[in-house]
Amino acid sequence: MKETIKTIQDRLKAGEKVLDIISQYESKARLEDFNIYREVFDDIETQSIKAQEMIDCGNQTAISGVPIAIKDNILFDRHLAGASSKMLEGYRASYDSTVVKKLKDAGAIIMGRTNMDEFAMGSSTENSAYGPTMNPIDRSRVPGGSSGGSAAAVAAGLAVAALGSDTGGSIRQPAAFCGVVGLLPTYGSVSRHGLMAMGSSLDVIGPFTATVSDNEIIYNFIKGKDKFDSTSKDSIEKKENSKKTLAIPKGLFETTGITEDIKKNFHEVVKKINEAGFITEEIDMPYFNYALSVYYILMPAEVSSNLARFDGVRYGSRKSNDSLDDLYVQTRGELFGSEVRRRILLGTYVLSHGYYDAYYNKALIIRDLIKKEFNTVFENYNAILTPTTPSTAFKIGEKVNDPLAMYLSDLFTVPANIAQIPALSIPSGKGSDGLPCAVQIMGPQFGESTLFEIGKIIEDYMR
Amino acid sequence: MNSETIEYLANLAKISFSKEEKDQIAHDLEKVISFVDQIQKVEIQETIETKHNLTNVFREDRVEPINSNQNLVEAAADTQDGFVRVPKIL
């Protein structure tokens, strides 16, 4: 049985000590064999004592004493952080990311760093340099990616909440595969200071939780404008939209690769939403389907820039000291995994002379058209509904040799990153194979409260 | 997308590849480029000067101390006397 923030609070109010509660989580985390945690931190006891002091002084917050896991690409001062890559083996963070600082100040316990696809590139956590994480629901299957470890930590009850990062679906897709709630917040609503950058115009840090309410609580703690991230903004007050209509993009199931289980589950969810009083309508969104192509042009381009800093000079290991060129080329060739090198090359190509206009510039223009299309839809509808993923969790090894097949699993998730809007993935029952299914609600920028409201309704109906 | 293109790109990106990897990557990238080529079907009326809702974020030009608990140089693989050491550049 998974605990929630409220269960932990109740236990604390009843007189249990933070240290006792957290020790239980720590033992389970140290014994787990799903390869979820890259490391369980050794200062958990110290953190628990501090949180207890906060509670004893009456200064506690809603998340004091709550065990939270963080993805291996989020910095926690003086703790190891490696983005599950050999390139950063042994690297210690020299500052706190803003999100970790906020959680610490609130008295939350940072349990450890979770496994991920290397440098957040992948949809299965199979691209980790330290082996894949297994889905706690079925060990032969992937937990999704790139935040697979964080999703699995919550699914396996090894943390009450976890932070991940989402650039093209890396929170929502593993949330769907593991049967937990995952939020992609509005771009800029959560500071990226201390998140190892992958795609700077796409990356967002967000929470994994067992329930929608818990997700809302964590989101409210981590959000906010930050002077260290000039792309961050405070939430804008939105006027209440009293309509209760949801849009479903037309032709959603015309692409191949969407399983019968997902189609069936989605139709059941739509029925339940209608019973709850929401009107659902299919609408034309012609640019929606171009989001995946736009993503696999813009994202690798940004990746090729962001990963240029990993050259063996200032951090990480080195693979040669013969000449400066060798230092760069050998270090990057040997310490980056194949998917990382693949995407850097792809980005280099679309930015190179002769191709820049046809690919990168054109993708930027289409990105604007996609954003405008979403804005038009949100003038008339509260939110947009789709399945989160085209299939349930696939088997470990099934897609790892076919990069394009792996990319196609991001079909429903990338549009939200391209448009920089929020999206919530909620578990919505099980497929015929007993594996979790999920639906995704997308909303206008800073429309998280709408997503949580609709999410709670779906959650209640699914019980 | 052939082995030569991969060599050209690998040189720009400063990454080494083995011969087998070069062929495999050329094949993989070819598939991805064919897929993303579908954007060529989209008709564009606008030029790249699309209006972006971006505003500059400024701060006062004032030096503020950063709380750094560690000597950042320690993170490098090869250091000497508080400096990062690299192979000869010139």
**Structure confidence by residue, pLDDT tens digits, B56-72:** 889 899 998 876 656 78
Q: What is the mean pLDDT of residues A120-126?
A: 97
Structure tokens at A268: 């059941």
- What pLDDT does residue A257 have? 83
The predicted pLDDT at position B1 comes to 84
Interface contact A316-B77, CB threshold 8 A: yes
Question: Per the CB < 8 Å rule, is A94 touching B70?
Answer: yes
Contact between A283 and A245 (Cβ < 8 Å): no
- Chain B hits for A336, Cβ within 8 Å: 15
Nearest CA in chain B to A305: B13
Give me the residue from B31, B48, B69 closest to A361, CB to CB.
Answer: B48
Q: Summarize the confidence of residues A166-182 as an average pLDDT.
A: 98
Residues A50-100: pLDDT tens digits? 999 999 999 999 999 999 999 999 999 999 999 999 999 999 999 999 999
Instruction: Kindly report the nearest CA distance between residue A418 and chain B, in angstroms.
Output: 14
CB A310 within 8 A of CB A432: no
Whether A326 sits inside 8 A of B17 (CB atoms) is no
- Residues in chain B within 8 Å Cβ distance of A368: 46, 50, 52
Residue A321 forms contact with B (CB below 8 Å): yes
Structure tokens given for A298: 């813009």
* pLDDT tens per residue across span A343-378: 999 999 999 999 999 999 999 999 999 999 999 999
Of B15, B44, B87, the CB nearest to A332: B15
Query: What is the average per-residue pLDDT within A34-46?
Result: 98
CA A77 remoteness from chain centre: 21
User: Would the pLDDT of A184 be above 70?
Assistant: yes
Q: Which residue from B9, B48, B72 is facing A345, i.e. has the nearest CB? A: B9
Q: Which of A50-59, A399-408, A451-460 has the lowest mean pLDDT?
A: A399-408
pLDDT of residue B68: 65
Is the CB of residue A325 less than 8 Å away from at least one CB of chain B?
Answer: yes
Is residue A144 a contact partner of residue A393, using CB atoms and an 8 Å limit? yes
Query: Given this model, what pLDDT does residue B47 score?
Result: 61
CB–CB of A94 and B68 under 8 A? yes
**pLDDT band, very low/low/confident/very high, at A393 (cuts 50, 70, 90):** very high
Is the CB of A327 less than 8 angstroms away from the CB of B33? no
pLDDT of residue B74: 84
User: What does the pLDDT read at residue A441?
Assistant: 98
Burial string for A402-412 (b: 16+ CB within 10 Å, else e) reads ebeebbbbbbb
Confidence category of residue A237, pLDDT binned at 50, 70, 90: low
| A317 interaction partners in chain B (CB closer than 8 Å) | 77
Contact A103, A68 (CB under 8 A): yes
Of A294, A322, A346, the CB nearest to B39: A294
Has residue A412 got a pLDDT over 90? Answer: yes
pLDDT average, residue stretch A212-217: 98
pLDDT category at B50 given cuts 50, 70, 90 is low
Confidence at residue B64, expressed as pLDDT on a 0 to 100 scale: 84
User: B22 pLDDT exceeds 70?
Assistant: yes
Give the pair of three-digit tokens for residue B11: 């040189």
A420, A199 contact by CB (below 8 A): no
Give contacts of A 334-373 with B, CB under 8 A: 334, 336, 338, 341-342, 344-346, 348-349, 352, 358-359, 361-366, 368-369
Nearest partner of A75 among A189, A188, A196, judged by Cα: A196
Residue type, A270: V
Would you state the pLDDT for residue B38? 95
pLDDT at B52: 62
Q: Is the ipTM of this complex over 0.90?
A: yes
Q: What is the per-residue pLDDT across A318-336, written as a single tens digit (0 to 9) for each?
A: 888 889 999 999 999 999 9
What pLDDT, in 10s, does the model give residues A242-265? 678 999 999 888 877 899 999 999
What pLDDT shows up at residue B46? 61
pLDDT at A33: 97
Q: Give the residue among A431, A108, A155 at the shortest CA–CA distance from A266.
A: A431
pTM of the predicted structure, to 2 decimals: 0.96
